[in-house]
Structures are given as C-alpha cells and as structure tokens.
C-alpha cells in the first residue's frame, strides 16, 4: 500500500513499462524476506546437522568408552594373571630354594655324621667300635622303653590331676589307678622295672598339688616325678648292662664257633689260610676287648664301692635327721643344723660330687614328713621320700661306673 504522506519515490510503485530502471527497489524488497527464510532454513539445517553429528559423536564416544573399558578389563585380567603367574614362579623358586637348602643341610649333616663316625672309629679303634655297635642295638630297645615310660608319665599326670580336682570323684581316680597298674604289668618293655610297688607308693603318699587356679598339670605331684626319673635311670643302666653282656657272651660263642669252623676248613682245604688268620685276629681282638673291659669294670667297681660306702654314711645322717624331725624332744634349730651339716658334707665329699645331691636333699628336708607311730624305735621306719632318693643315688653311681668303664675302653683303644 502506498503512503501518500511519504515523499516521492519512497513508495513502491508498479514497474513502469518501457524499461524505466526503477524495478530494483521492488526486487530488493522481496530479497530480504527470502534471505531471512533461507537463513532460517540454513540455521535449522545447521542445528539438525549439529545435533546429528553430536548424536553420532555421543554414540561413537560411548562405543569407544565401552571398548576402552572392555580392553582395560581384559588388560587388568591379563595383568592379574601375569601377577599370579609371577607369584607362582616366585613361590616355586622359593620352594625349590628351600628344598635345595634342606638337601644341602641334610648333606652337611650327613657329612658331619660321617666325619664324626670316622673320628669315632679313629678314636675308639676296632674294639671300641664293636662295643659301640652292641650298645646301639640296645639303644633301640631303650628308646621304646622310654616311650612306654612317657605313656606312664601321661597317665600319672592325669591321675594326679584327678586327685587334686574337686570335680573328679574318687571312684574315677581309683579306676585310673587300677588301669595304670594293669598297663604297667602287661607292658613287656616295663616288666623288668617292677613298677607296682612304686606306683602304689605314689597313690598312697603323693598328695602334692599346685595352687587352686593352677592350669599346668605338670606342677601337680612330687613323689611321682622322682619315681619317673628313677625308672628312666633303671632303663639306661639296663641298656648298658645288656650291651656288655651281649658283647661278652658274643665273644665266647664266636670263639667256640670259629674254632670249629677253622678246624673244619683246615681239613677241607689248605687255601683257607687268609680266612683263618682273619678269624683268629678277630677272636684275639674280641678277647683283648673283653679282658680290657673286665679290668676297667673291676677298677671302677672299687670306686663305686667307696661311693656306696659314703652313701651309707649319708643314709645314716638322713635317718638321724628324720628321727629329729619326728621327735618332739629335738628342737627345730638342732634339726636345721643337722641339715646344714649334711649339705656341707655331701658338697665336699669328692666321691659324691658327680651325683649332684643338693636339690634332692633340699627336697627331702622340705617334703619328707613321713613318720612311724609314736612309740616306734626303728629309725628306718621313718621317712619315705629319702629312701627313694637313696635308691636313685645308688643306681646313679652304678650307671656311672659302667659308663666310666666303657669310656676307659675307648681311651685304651685310642692310645693303641
């Protein structure tokens, strides 16, 4: 629409005929909205393209992120497998190193054992070696007897625990004692120890218990531990005695058998001189060893007799001390003086030094409270623990006599 108030040429008029040249204004007026429309369409297309590209990028990003996560998980899994494999290799290497170390240690111990055996053979000589072999054969029996004694020790500990417990009835304890008596009577390895009297003495007189809240069962009992030491000492002594008897008996048997064999071989063939000489040398060596052992044992027996005589004096002093303990006419001060004198006497006596009697004497002074009836006149009926200690010390002296005699054989063979 034309605005009549506008000046000339401000209104758009129809294009003049004849090519007047004013049609550009009309064309320009149509171009602007078209450009705006084109720009709007281009913007809309651009935004759609941007959204499409952004969507594609988001999808690709998620896909790439998912792939990266899967790849990372696979890599972590592979890394964990490699770590486990490396850990397995390290464990195998450590196990192999430990095994090699154990083998090296075993070889070293074996080499040391061989060196010790060679040194022992060089030191002891052939005679000492023969006696050592006889002793080793008896050591296996001693080991089995010691295991049987360990079982007796366990049963005694259980019996003493039942005795010291207020929760275990007396009938159960008596049943345990009967089982223990039957067990020791039927065990062939313990038959030679004659344990019945000792066990009955323990059941009757061992009333020692630890404090009320004690949880260590081995702190109960007193007399039973001394009996166990005494029985173990008996086992060791009898091991040496059997080895000596087997060795000497073997010498005599081999002497007779070898003589018969040599005479027979002499009649059959004259080509047995080397064997005859070997047999004679072996017999001579064994005969010499037997003679040396008998001589050494006789020498040590004299020393043992002196020690036993001194032990008899200790026995007399212990009886006097126990009489003073049981008598209300002897003061405590006098009894303590007797105990002190006895400790000094045993410490200074050279024939008793190897027995280490101080702890045993103090145990007697502290725990042996056994006394006979009021009008008793026999001193030997007083005391209980002291008599077992005296048996233990005498047995210890006998064992050390045999050990010194055996050591004398080794020394003699080494000097030769």
pLDDT tens string 73-127? 888 888 888 888 888 888 888 888 888 888 888 888 888 877 776 665 555 555 5
Judge whether residue 279 has pLDDT over 50: yes
SS3 135: helix
**Residue 261: band (very low, low, confident or very high) from pLDDT cuts 50, 70, 90:** very low
C-alpha 200 chain-centroid distance:
33
pTM over 0.85: no
C-alpha 15 chain-centroid distance:
125
Give per-residue pLDDT as tens, 141-163: 888 989 999 999 999 999 998 89
C-beta separation of 220 from 208 below 8 A = yes
- The pLDDT assigned to 127 comes to 56
C-beta separation of 240 from 402 below 8 A = yes
**Residue 61: band (very low, low, confident or very high) from pLDDT cuts 50, 70, 90:** confident
Averaged pLDDT for residues 181-195: 88
- Please give the radius of gyration of the chain, using alpha carbons only, rounded to the nearest integer: 53
> According to the per-residue pLDDT averaged within each range, which of 14-18, 163-167, 172-176, 190-194 is highest?
172-176
Q: What's the full length of the chain, in residues?
A: 416
- The pLDDT assigned to 181 comes to 92
- The pLDDT assigned to 175 comes to 92
For tokens 């069962």, the residue is 217
**Residue 15: band (very low, low, confident or very high) from pLDDT cuts 50, 70, 90:** low
- Beta carbons within 8 Å of 235's beta carbon, 6+ residues apart: 142, 145, 146, 149, 193
Cα–Cα distance, 202 to 289 (Å, whole number): 43
- The pLDDT assigned to 314 comes to 92
Read off the tokens for 4.
């009549």
Cα–Cα distance, 144 to 104 (Å, whole number): 31
- The pLDDT assigned to 411 comes to 61
Averaged pLDDT for residues 280-301: 69
Q: For 327, how many CA atoms within 13 A lie in the half-sphere containing its CB?
A: 16
Of 119, 34, 89, nearest to 410 (Cα)? Answer: 119
Judge whether residue 256 has pLDDT over 50: no
- Beta carbons within 8 Å of 208's beta carbon, 6+ residues apart: 220, 221, 222, 223, 367
Q: For 416, how many CA atoms within 13 A lie in the half-sphere containing its CB?
A: 16
Judge whether residue 263 has pLDDT over 70: no
Judge whether residue 178 has pLDDT over 90: yes
More confident residue, 387 or 277: 387
Cα–Cα distance, 358 to 389 (Å, whole number): 11
Cα–Cα distance, 202 to 209 (Å, whole number): 13
Averaged pLDDT for residues 283-299: 70
Cα–Cα distance, 243 to 133 (Å, whole number): 9
What is the percentage of the chain residues whose pLDDT exceeds 70?
Answer: 77
- The pLDDT assigned to 333 comes to 92
Averaged pLDDT for residues 287-296: 71
Averaged pLDDT for residues 399-409: 80
Read off the tokens for 244.
């000596």
Using alpha carbons, list the distances in angstroms from residue 105 to 97, 99, 102: 12, 10, 5
Of 362, 344, 343, 346, nearest to 354 (Cα)? Answer: 346
Backbone angles phi, psi at 289, to 5 degrees: -65, -45
Mutual orientation of helices 385-415 and 223-268 as an angle, nearest 10°?
30
What angle (nearest 5°) sits at the alpha carbon of residue 151, between those of residues 356 and 175?
A: 115
Read off the tokens for 276.
């005859």
The mean pLDDT value of the chain amounts to: 79
Give per-residue pLDDT as tens, 350-401: 888 888 889 999 999 988 888 888 777 788 888 888 898 999 999 888 888 8
C-beta separation of 383 from 368 below 8 A = yes
Conformation bin of residue 16: beta by default, left when phi > 0, alpha when psi is -120 to 50 = beta
Domain boundaries, the chain: 109-415
**Local structure of residue 16 (DSSP, 8 states):** P
**Residue 268: band (very low, low, confident or very high) from pLDDT cuts 50, 70, 90:** very low
- The pLDDT assigned to 265 comes to 47
C-beta separation of 195 from 184 below 8 A = yes
Neighbours of 6 (CB within 10 A): 9
């Amino acid at each position: 629409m034309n605005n009549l108030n506008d000046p000339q040429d401000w209104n758009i008029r129809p294009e003049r005929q004849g090519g007047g040249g004013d049609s550009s204004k009309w064309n320009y007026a149509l171009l602007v909205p078209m450009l705006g429309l084109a720009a709007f369409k281009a913007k809309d297309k651009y935004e759609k393209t941007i959204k499409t590209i952004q969507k594609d990028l988001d999808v690709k990003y998620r896909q790439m992120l998912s792939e990266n996560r899967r790849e990372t998980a696979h890599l972590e899994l592979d890394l964990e497998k490699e770590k486990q494999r490396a850990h397995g290799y390290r464990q195998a290497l450590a196990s192999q190193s430990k095994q090699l170390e154990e083998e090296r240690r075993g070889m070293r111990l074996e080499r040391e054992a061989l060196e010790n055996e060679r040194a022992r053979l060089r030191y002891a000589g052939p005679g000492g070696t023969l006696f050592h072999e006889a002793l080793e054969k008896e050591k296996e029996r001693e080991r089995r007897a010691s295991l049987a004694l360990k079982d007796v020790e366990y049963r005694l500990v259980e019996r003493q625990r039942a005795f010291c417990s207020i929760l275990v009835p007396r009938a159960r304890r008596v049943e345990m004692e009967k089982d223990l008596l039957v067990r020791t009577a039927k065990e062939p390895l313990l038959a030679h120890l004659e344990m019945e009297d000792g066990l009955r003495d323990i059941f009757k007189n061992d009333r020692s218990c630890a404090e009320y809240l004690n949880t260590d069962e081995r702190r109960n009992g007193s007399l039973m531990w001394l009996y166990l030491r005494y029985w173990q000492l008996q086992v060791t002594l009898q091991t040496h005695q059997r080895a000596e008897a087997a060795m000497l008996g073997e010498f005599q048997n081999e002497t007779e058998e070898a003589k018969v064999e040599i005479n027979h071989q002499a009649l059959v063939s004259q080509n047995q001189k080397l064997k005859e000489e070997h047999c004679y040398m072996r017999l001579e060596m064994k005969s010499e060893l037997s003679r040396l052992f008998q001589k050494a044992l006789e020498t040590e027996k004299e020393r043992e007799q002196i020690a036993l005589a001194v032990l008899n004096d200790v026995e007399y002093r212990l009886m006097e001390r126990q009489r003073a303990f049981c008598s209300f006419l002897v003061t405590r001060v006098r009894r303590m003086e007797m105990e002190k004198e006895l400790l000094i006497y045993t410490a200074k006596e050279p024939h008793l030094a190897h027995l280490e009697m101080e702890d045993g004497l103090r145990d007697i002074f502290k725990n042996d409270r056994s006394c006979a009836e009021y009008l008793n006149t026999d001193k030997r009926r007083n005391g209980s623990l002291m008599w077992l200690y005296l048996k233990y010390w005498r047995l210890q002296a006998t064992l050390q006599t045999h050990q010194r005699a055996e050591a004398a054989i080794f020394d003699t063979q080494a000097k030769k």
